Amino acid sequence: MNDKEKFLFDLNGYLVLENVLTTDEVTAANGAIEHHADRISNREPGLAEDSARLKGAQGRGEFQQNPLTFEPPWCDPFRRMFTHPRVIDVFNEILGTGFRLDHGPGLIRMQHGTEGHRLHGGMSFDPSQYHTFQHGRMQAGLCVAAWQLTDVRPGDGGFACIPGSHKANYRPAIEVLRLEQDWGCVHQVVAGAGSVVFFNEALVHGTLPWQPTDRERRSILFKFSPGFMAWGSAPQQCPITDPTHEEQVLYAPPHRPGRTELTGSQQ
């Protein structure tokens, strides 16, 4: 993670890295999603709660199977994302070496008219979702790597947040979290296909309804925690039938001592 990336993640609570996947990798991932369209189902609407601004005609689409367990070669694009050197590099810095997969990967598929998700996160003490700066480095709890497989352009909707709110001391009004009042602080995050959006779950964040009629939103979210900690219930074992060393390390249950360090890259 270079100085600019560290500065922006510490400042904003999120970071967009563009062009991390090649065009071929994006195409392969989209092909795998389309091949498994029958494993996607729309959740019941409800994430918008009672916000008129966030309401939509349908709930978002989600995978009903962990894509890391798809038959080869369909799992390959997701396995590449899982242990991508850029992800390892960023989380070694933010979560500390020995970080682990907490839950996911999950798909968020949004089509025109898919509802949003009320802003949430941060705003109260939660020892599993935090941001601190101590001993010369930032340290975070549960964080997300959200891979974008289609373009997200200004005005499209999708992921939105209040930049810097992972360090905020006051709560915004509930109307702000429902997008019913505009205090000028909610930011829709723009990111191209092939990019990865890292964000801290302590950031106030959520989802805006999806506007485009020519493009679905397709994001694959991996959620990672520091190695000693679990937000979700830890899996008993890695579900991949032929896991690599790195995959096995990332699937280890939470524990503190002697966790294996993975090496990222400074690309």
Ligand X SMILES: O=C(O)CCC(=O)C(=O)O
Which stretches of the chain bind ligand X, using CB under 6 A?
A: 108, 117, 144, 146, 158-159, 205-207, 219, 221
**For residues 67 and 82, what is the distance between their CA atoms, to the nearest angstrom?**
11
Task: Report whether 143 contacts 94 (CB < 8 A).
Answer: yes
Question: Cβ closer to ligand X: 144 or 186?
Answer: 144
- CB 60 to ligand X: min, Å: 8
- CB 267 to ligand X: min, Å: 24
- CB 208 to ligand X: min, Å: 8
- What residues does 160 pair with on adjacent strands? 188, 206
**For residues 116 and 118, what is the distance between their CA atoms, to the nearest angstrom?**
7
Q: Which two tokens stand for residue 131?
A: 């941001």
Question: Cβ closer to ligand X: 165 or 219?
Answer: 219
Question: Cβ closer to ligand X: 108 or 229?
Answer: 108
- CB 108 to ligand X: min, Å: 5
Question: Cβ closer to ligand X: 93 or 201?
Answer: 201
Question: Cβ closer to ligand X: 81 or 249?
Answer: 81
Question: Cβ closer to ligand X: 20 or 249?
Answer: 20
Which residue's Cβ lies closest to ligand X?
Answer: 207
Type and span of the H or E element at 174: helix 174-177
- B/e letters for 216-237, b = 16+ CB within 10 Å, e = fewer, are bbbbbbbbbbbbebbbeebeee
- CB 110 to ligand X: min, Å: 8
- What residues does 197 pair with on adjacent strands? 16, 146
Q: Which amino acid is at 138?
A: M
What DSSP character marks residue 191?
Answer: B
Extract the runs of DSSP E, i.e. beta strands, from the chain.
14-17, 40-42, 61-63, 100-110, 117-120, 131-134, 137-140, 143-148, 158-161, 187-188, 196-200, 205-208, 217-225
- CB 97 to ligand X: min, Å: 24
